[in-house]
Amino acid sequence: MFIAGLIGVAMTMLLVLVRVLAGPTVYDRILAINLFGTKTVLLIALLGFFAGRPEFLDLALTYALINFIGTIAVLKFMQYGDLGWDSDARDDADV
């Protein structure tokens, strides 16, 4: 049963990679990369359960947080063109 789950997750990861390469817009590609990261978290959790190593869940949760923060950073960069504050905006905020 677990082998079928691993194969199913691996197949959906391959389909998501096709969307990453053939996505019509940049946002479709970003969403596909985020989904690939989510599927990776699921794959790590399944492998940990299948191998009898519960510490893999800690790794999966850490990877999920990194995936979330990375997606937010990429989307912010796509919208504003920068990840930090603009120096003019920082000076205006202090006033």
Confidence tier at 82 by pLDDT (50, 70, 90): confident
Q: Which residue, 37, 35, 49, is CA-closest to 6?
A: 49
| Tens digit of each residue's pLDDT (9 = 90 or more) over 15-55 | 999 999 998 898 899 999 999 999 999 999 989 988 899 89
Name the residue ranges covered by the structural domains of the chain. Answer: 2-94
pTM of the full structure: 0.78
CA distance 2 to 68: 26
Q: How many residues does the chain have?
A: 95
